[in-house]
Structure 1
Amino acid sequence: MRHFFRAKLAGAAAGALFSLAAPTAQAQVQAAAQAQATAPVQTIAVTPDQLLALTARLDALEQRNSELERQVQELKATAAAGDQAIRKELGGTKVAVAGGRPTLASADGKFTAAFRAGVQLDASRFSQDAPGPLAADFRRGSVGDAAEADRARDFADGANFRRARVGMEGRLFSDWDYAFLYEFGGTGTEGGGVINAAWLQYSGFGRTKIRVGAFAPPTGMDDQTSVWGALFPERSAVGEMVRGIAGADGRSSLAVLSNGDRWTLSAALTGNVVGQQSFDEQVGLVARASILPVKGSDYLVHLGVNTTQVLEPAAGGPDVAPGATRNVRLRERPENRVETVRLVDTGNIDAKRASVWGLEAAGQFKAFTVQSEYFDIGVDRRASPLPSPDFSGWYVQGAWTLTGQPRRYVAASGSFDAPRIDRPFDFRKGDWGAWELGLRVSELDLNFAEGGAGTAPRTGAIRGGDQKITTLGLNWYPNAAVRFSATYQDVQVDRLSAGGAAFGAGALTPPAGAQVGQDVQIWTLRSQYAF
């Protein structure tokens, strides 16, 4: 474009100079042209001032053109820089799928989001004596539950989704962690959905963290073992019952959690479980400490203590109302959730507080693992001359990984998890994942001064029952996300009737001192995937 303007300028200048320098020649040329052409031709004369003005305008246009070219180049550079920034930002977002779990992370690691999901499908078959008439078959379930009087005599074979969870967890601004999990599984049948965990945690203090929200505060070693990596489909009866007193999933809590490579320490102030309704909510305190006094490359020893304190039981109504109570109730299922019935149950105890003290011991040597806990549970009656009852429970369990991979010890929770699957199942390569055998013996004793068979209970006695369970299990882990389990349980319940109307009116309540316990055998298959 610049050369075009210069050519125009040169042509105009030459024409002007020619007209000024040779007017006579120009006239002669014009005369000759007129003589030869059929139409006249007119010539435009340009003065020096006009030439200078034209030159100035061309210079201005040239400068304007240069300015436009500069602006275009700047726009191109800005666009290129923005494009590079966008590409860098997009390229900095990290996407990973570790163990089947999709995870997003910012380039600087300050923000993460991991999608969580897990499903456990259980199928159980129960073997027990055939049911008889209510007036002659004294097997019973929960105190005051007429429906369980029938279910206890005929357990329901079937299947249900024990857990079906979906949610997300991650990090915000480096120092904040979060989690939200929703649960659609359940006991006996599936649920419509409930908050399993919803918490926010500040982790900026290093090893010490502060967490608030709805979650399961640490109440013991069995409690802290991941449900996706536990040795058996269900926790021990006493471990499950104790965590339900002031812990358990979805418990409103404020907790301080700390751990090192060989120790854990935690304490939490707790309220009700999400979805639980009461007048004044329960106020509880749970605390736990554990240590590894011995640890080597393929062996360790774990010791721990824990406590659960119900400082104020939940109120059944306004304290000013006549007969207002603050009940504590202890009961549990036979380590199976396909059937809903509970075979041991203290019934309601009007209490001013309750306390649990627990001891933990575990050890590991290569592919062998053993774990045990003991709990002592006391309930202080409220405004009553009756003696305050005391209960207990324990379990011992062992695992042997047939394929050699040891169970993992998780330092952050002070508990064991599933074996690490270093060779996932692939029949073409001859890889079979991990296979594991498990054995557990447990007892939950909810009797207090129960007396003898055929006798009426003394004042203040509680005939909640003594439940003993032996469990044998086989686990197969094809890979880190999939698991199949088969278990056999022998359940023995020794429980005497309290008489009166403990289980309901009339034939619902057997005579005082009658045996209302039973023996049950349970076969269970579990299919699971989780990431």
Structure 2
Amino acid sequence: MRQTITRCRNRLTFGLWLTILGGGHWVESSACAQEPTPKAAVSPSPAVEERLRRLEEVNARLLERLDRDRDESAQRYRVLEERYRELQRRLGEPPATPALKADVPPETGEATARRSHLGRPGELGKALSVRELPLKARFADGFQLASEDEEFDLRFHVLNQTDAEVFAPNNRTFGKSGLYIPRVRLYLEGRLTKLWDYEVSLQRSLEGSWDLLDGNVNFHPSDAFQVKFGRQLVPYSYDWFDHLEQYFIAPERALFPLNFGLSRQAGLMGWGHAREGKLDWALGVFNGHLTGLADNNPNLEGVGYLNFRPFLGSEQFPALHHLNVGASGSIGEITRNDTPLPMRTSVQSSDNDEAAEDASAVFLAFNKGTVYQGARRFAAVHLAYYYHGLSFESEWNIGRFQMTRPGLGNKPEIPVGGFHTTLSYFLTGEQIERRTVVQPLRPFQPFHGEWGLGAFEPFIRYSQLNLGENLFTEGLAEGRLWSNDAGMIDLGMNWYPNRWVKFYLTWQHAMFGSPVLVNEAKNTFSRDMNLFWVRGQVYF
């Protein structure tokens, strides 16, 4: 009890001290009046102990309430501070900071930034008042940095593809067995406020040089109506406008879109996704070139595209939700000579260099001096269907274009037509609604303890391409060396170990309407070609 009295002594009131002292004096006086005996231990009365206990309880409750009030006040302050910052962001005001004095560096944490070296000389190194934006990072289909209000973001993607090709027969002038890199791409895309999107991407293709792939700005007031300006995909052919290369069923496009697709051009395009996703539309004007990156055609080309999903969201026909039907077309004129590329089976290339010649078989090469010049018109209708693990795609293309050569007084119009049909199915249960990123149900990622087989997708495709016989009769190409029609079968299996890695294993068999030159030195010809093809792809 002495310990209890000592522990509480500092908490007692002055009156209580007087009571204790008075009690002690009375005990001493009583002891002096008695005969001398051994002194007994002094213990406080029960009433004093009860008062001490009650004081301890009151003090404990006061301390507990004080701590609780302090925590509640701190929480209310944090909420008010966050609301204030949110109001600043909505009003577009920078956080309040002291005015900066000339030539005095700002303190750490102030909402200022330095100009980059791209500024004018007189502005280099000057501090600018900017709005601080807390960022959040994500990694899914690429890396993303975004502001908390989603007004600004930057997405970074990489596509890398490597091919191992074995041609049969192998002693070919065009098409040699070996390792090739068909494309490496770096994508930068994102948003500058919710009204403006941007895209900049670079590509290294078979030619071995880096160049601009896409570079555009997109005005985005709504999903149904958008306007894109710059270098971009041209909306002709479902196989081009709906499909990015990383999502292909077969390694490359079918014969007609491979050789006559309008690819990417500089232009102005209105486009959108309307009627709750049931309608995709695009209408634009483009510079109209077919080969190379430079725009050397002063005339414009009009291009249009429509794709319908008539049963999307239908309760009566749920199996037809992802049925796609549509059409596309283009019309334009080439006023300056544009040298045509050879007709190939397995390479998409904007130039005719040694690497492109080695990586693909050729079934039609134009005579020296032959050029595109004059009117050009293309049209296409397409049908695509996706249901659970099934993908079915088909497209029919027709067109006419004019060509000429030195010594030819006219510009003969060459008809061209083709079609392709593709079928694939996921054996491992994955379901898709369109060609996009595939997430295997059982990925193969042993370092994360996932030992699944990944996703397997067998596929088959047949494609056909036919050009007019007047190519040969007008001397634009040599009929005894080449064929003006070709058919091709692609049969293979796609393996997706995880969502970022994909392997194509493909056998490609091409058939030509007439024997084509295989080996120029040996003067050998063949009516068909076989290619055994493995492609490894990384995309994130």
Cα separation, 2, equivalents of 1:356 and 1:270: 14
The aligned residue for residue 507 of structure 2 is 488
Pairing partner for 1:294 from 304, 311, 335? 311
Where 2:257 maps in the other structure, the secondary structure is helix
| Contact 2:301-2:333 within 8 A present in 1 as well | yes
The aligned residue for residue 333 of structure 1 is 344
Higher relative contact order (CA 8 A, sep 6+): 1
| Contact 2:236-2:329 within 8 A present in 1 as well | yes
- How far does the alpha carbon of each residue in 1:245-282 deviate from its partner, in whole angstroms, 9 at most, with x for none? xx313x21211111131111112211147954475445
1:396 aligns with 2:415: no
1:406 Cα deviation after fit: 2.5
1:482 Cα deviation after fit: 1.0
Q: Which one-letter code corresponds to 1:160 in the other structure?
A: Y
The aligned residue for residue 405 of structure 1 is 430
With over 3 angstroms needed to count, the CA separation of the structure-2 counterparts of 1:364 and 1:167, relative to structure 1, is closer
Pairing partner for 2:146 from 76, 87, 105? 105
Where 1:403 maps in the other structure, the secondary structure is coil
| Contact 1:407-1:418 within 8 A present in 2 as well | no
Where 2:436 maps in the other structure, the secondary structure is strand
Cα separation, 1, equivalents of 2:237 and 2:296: 29
Cα separation, 2, equivalents of 1:279 and 1:425: 48
Which one is further off, 122-131 or 339-348? 339-348
1:120 Cα deviation after fit: 0.6
Where 2:163 maps in the other structure, the secondary structure is strand
1:304 Cα deviation after fit: 1.0
| Contact 1:408-1:419 within 8 A present in 2 as well | no
Q: How many equivalent residue pairs? A: 388
Cα separation, 2, equivalents of 1:173 and 1:119: 30
The aligned residue for residue 238 of structure 2 is 221
The aligned residue for residue 446 of structure 1 is 467
Where 1:222 maps in the other structure, the secondary structure is helix
TM-score (norm 1): 0.66
1:252 aligns with 2:266: yes
Cα separation, 2, equivalents of 1:527 and 1:159: 11
Aligned positions of 1:112-151 closer than 5 A = 112-128=153-169, 151=173
1:206 Cα deviation after fit: 3.9
The aligned residue for residue 264 of structure 1 is 280
Aligned positions of 1:72-471 closer than 5 A = 92-99=134-141, 101-128=142-169, 151-152=173-174, 155-184=175-204, 186-187=205-206, 189=207, 191-223=208-240, 224-243=242-261, 247-249=262-264, 251-260=265-274, 261-271=277-287, 272=289, 276-277=293-294, 280-281=297-298, 283-295=300-312, 297-299=318-320, 300-309=322-331, 311-316=332-337, 327=338, 329=340, 331-336=342-347, 339-345=359-365, 348=370, 351-380=373-402, 388-409=413-434, 416-426=435-445, 428-448=449-469, 458=473, 463=479, 465-471=484-490
| Contact 1:122-1:527 within 8 A present in 2 as well | yes
Q: Which one-letter code corresponds to 2:499 in the other structure?
A: A
Cα separation, 1, equivalents of 2:184 and 2:250: 17
Where 1:240 maps in the other structure, the secondary structure is helix
Gaps of 5+ in 1: 1-76, 132-150, 317-326, 410-415, 451-456
The aligned residue for residue 478 of structure 1 is 497
Where 1:239 maps in the other structure, the secondary structure is helix
Structure (1 or 2) with the larger CA radius of gyration: 1
Q: Which one-letter code corresponds to 1:126 in the other structure?
A: F
Where 2:212 maps in the other structure, the secondary structure is strand
1:491 Cα deviation after fit: 1.1
Cα separation, 1, equivalents of 2:299 and 2:259: 16
TM-score (norm 2): 0.64
With over 3 angstroms needed to count, the CA separation of the structure-2 counterparts of 1:103 and 1:466, relative to structure 1, is same
Cα separation, 1, equivalents of 2:263 and 2:411: 30
| Contact 2:258-2:347 within 8 A present in 1 as well | no
| Contact 1:421-1:477 within 8 A present in 2 as well | yes
| Contact 2:366-2:476 within 8 A present in 1 as well | no
Where 1:109 maps in the other structure, the secondary structure is coil
With over 3 angstroms needed to count, the CA separation of the structure-2 counterparts of 1:268 and 1:422, relative to structure 1, is farther
With over 3 angstroms needed to count, the CA separation of the structure-2 counterparts of 1:103 and 1:274, relative to structure 1, is farther
1:407 Cα deviation after fit: 3.1
With over 3 angstroms needed to count, the CA separation of the structure-2 counterparts of 1:398 and 1:279, relative to structure 1, is closer
Root mean square deviation of aligned Cα: 3.4
Where 1:405 maps in the other structure, the secondary structure is coil
Cα separation, 1, equivalents of 2:325 and 2:499: 28
1:459 Cα deviation after fit: 5.2
The aligned residue for residue 9 of structure 2 is none
Aligned sequence identity (%): 19
Cα separation, 2, equivalents of 1:122 and 1:315: 36
Cα separation, 1, equivalents of 2:179 and 2:522: 30
1:423 Cα deviation after fit: 3.7
Gaps of 5+ in 2: 1-80, 82-94, 98-107, 112-130, 349-357
